Structures are given as structure tokens and as C-alpha cells.
Amino acid sequence: MLSRFGHLFVRVLFMPLPSPTPVDLRGCTAIVTGAAQGLGLEMATELSRGGAKVVLADIQADKARAAAEGLVAEGLDGSSVQLDVTDSHAVGEVFASVAAENGHLDIVVNNAGVGQQLDRVSDLPDGEWDRVLAATLTGTFYCGRAAAAIMERQESGAIVNISSINGQNPAALAGAYNVAKAGVISLTRTMALELAAYGVRVNAVCPGPVYTDFNRSVMQQRSESLGIDEQEMIERVRAAVPLGRWGEPRDIARMVAWLASPAADWMTGEVVRVSGGLEGVSAAPPKRARNDDEETT
């Protein structure tokens, strides 16, 4: 039979450990865009694990609300707001109201973005170019500008923009997305310079492949274009990653939380790749088949 201390020892031994919170964000108010699912949700979770009060802003209102309720159920601090980052006016209103309600806005993570229908630039329709640039680059500009107005006034704050390895090393058939993500890097570095005098830091994270809804669609399209099975495509990507595995959302979220925290106080204008060592995927397609009629006319 176990003694009283024996019972206590067994209880402590099997007690679930609290998840490690490498950053201290207590007292901070944060907005994460595109936080209803995928990487954004994990970023919001990681910031709230660090003690921040996090607003999950997403175009998908119901999903963002459910995600915020999930955080609260875990004892974390989360709320949600519906926001389309391509709506300049709405962005200004949401950011101003979060800052007014809390008295400050300390962290903004510009994560919302959309993938593109894979296509050669020579075939890319205007509408697809516009859709991808609007959500992925212009949305980051609107949110960055709104955050800058508030943070410049309060003379503090950290902005983390989510780019991609494609923003550094473009992949074929994703021209609009590559350009948008390269634009996010340039915007990051420009804003870092402009806001440095106010103590506001702006950094970018370039994630490698993480199997979210976004990447599921990319894998489907890439495997179709190569005429291979989707599982084989997933394995090819895994094998191309020097560290030998796909990323997990938390791999990205931890870097975002760290860059947003005082631990990164002397970092601004940095572009940090979190990709298991993968620098990019070029995926150059072969010449397309031409039919003879085309050649003779």
C-alpha cells in the first residue's frame, strides 16, 4: 500500500506538464490575421500561451469565433473579429478599436494570405493575379499601415509579417504568390527602417512546407501537373527538406512568438527562414506539348 507521500509522488509523476512557454508576453495585446485555422491559429495559440491577449482576425467569422472559444476553453485569452484584410477601411476600424479597447496594441502578425491556382505566368489570368496580390500583399500593407499608425504613437510594438520561402526563391507556376511574398519581405524591411526611431520592430518569417489546407491544395495541383500520386508528391517534398520532415504549425508559431517578444528586442528588418533547411523549390516544368496545327500556322 502506498503512503500519503507515495500517492503524492505518483500524482506529481503523472501530472500533465504545462506546455512550455519560451516567451513572456503577459500584458501584451496582439492581433493575428488569418487566425481561424492553420498556421495563424497556431501563432495565436502560441502568443496566448505566452500570456498575450490575442484577437483572431479572419474573413471566416464562424471559424475564427470557434477557434477563439477553443483558446478560452484551454484557459487562454482569445477573442475573434471578422476581418477581410483586403478592405482598407475595415482594417483601419478593427485595429483602432482593438487599440482603444485595450489602451495599446503591442503585437501584429500579418499572416492572412492565399495560394494561387498553379499556372505559368504566360497563362495567368488578370483576376488570379489580382486576387492573390490583394489578399497576400495589399492586405499585409493595409494591416501594417494601420498597426504602424498606432505603434508609432505609442512608441512601441512588434510586427511580424508572414512571407514564404517562395518570397526568397520563387517556385515555377506560382508567379503571383512568389511576387506577393517577395513584396512582403520588401515591405517588412522598408517599415523596419521607417519605424525604428519609434522603437517599433518589423520582421518577417519565411515558412517552408507545412501541411495545412493551403498546402494540401498546392500538393494536389503539383502532383496533377507532374502526373504523380499526391502521396508521392508529399514524400518528394519531405525528402527535399534537409532536416527530413515537413514542418509542423508550431515550428513556425514559436519563431513568430519569439520575434514578437522582448527576447528579440534588438532585431528589426530581419527575414527569418523556418523551413528545416529548405531554401526553395524551383519545380521548373518541361516544355509544353505543342500540336502540329499550331506549329504550321
Ligand X SMILES: NC(=O)c1ccc[n+]([C@@H]2O[C@H](COP(=O)([O-])OP(=O)(O)OC[C@H]3O[C@@H](n4cnc5c(N)ncnc54)[C@H](O)[C@@H]3O)[C@@H](O)[C@H]2O)c1
Residue 145 has a CB neighbour count (10 Å cut-off) of: 15
Among 29, 45, 48, 111, binds ligand X (CB under 6 A): 111
50 versus 207: smaller Cβ distance to ligand X: 207
Determine, following the binding rule CB under 6 A, whether residue 124 of this chain makes contact with ligand X: no
Q: Does 255 bind ligand X (CB under 6 A)?
A: no
DSSP 48-107: HHTT-EEEEEES-HHHHHHHHHHHHHTT--EEEEE--TT-HHHHHHHHHHHHHHHS---E
- Minimum CB–partner distance for residue 168 and ligand X (Å): 11
- At 45, which amino acid appears? T
Residue of 76, 91, 108, 112 interacting with ligand X (CB under 6 A): 112
Q: Which is nearer to ligand X, 152 or 279 (CB)?
A: 279
72-91 binders of ligand X (CB under 6 A): 83-86
3 state SS for 133-149: HHHHHHHHHHHHHHHHH
Task: Answer whether 80's CB lies under 8 Å from 114's CB.
Answer: no
Instruction: Tell which residue, 240, 241, 234, has the closest CA to residue 274.
Output: 241
Does position 138 interact with ligand X (CB under 6 A)? The reply is no
CA atoms within 13 A on the CB side of 57: 28
CA 101 to chain CA mean position, Å: 25
Residues 150-189 that bind ligand X (CB under 6 A): 162, 164
Question: What is the phi/psi pair of residue 91, to 5°?
Answer: -60, -50
Q: Which of 131, 145, 199, 214 binds ligand X (CB under 6 A)?
A: 214
Q: Which three cell numbers stand for residue 143?
A: 494591416
The correct pick among 212, 221, 261, 268 for binding ligand X (CB under 6 A) is 212
Position 76, amino acid: L
**Residue 212: what are its φ and ψ, rounded to 5°?**
-100, 180
Kindly indicate which of the ranges 1-9, 21-29, 38-46, 232-240 contains the residues binding ligand X, using the contact rule CB under 6 A: 38-46
Closest contact distance (angstroms) between CB of 37 and ligand X is 4
Beta carbon of residue 135, minimum distance to ligand X (angstroms, whole number): 4
177 in catalytic set: yes
Residue with cell 488578370: 126
Q: Which of 21, 60, 156, 223 binds ligand X (CB under 6 A)?
A: 60
CA 86 centroid distance within chain: 16
Q: How far is the CB of 198 from ligand X (least distance, A)?
A: 26
Selected binder of ligand X within 59, 99, 176, 233 (CB under 6 A): 59
Q: Select the residue interacting with ligand X from 50, 78, 175, 209 (CB under 6 A).
A: 209
**Chain contacts with ligand X (rule: CB under 6 A):** 33-34, 36-40, 58-60, 83-86, 111-114, 135, 139, 162, 164, 207, 209-210, 212-215
Q: Which residues are catalytic?
A: 177
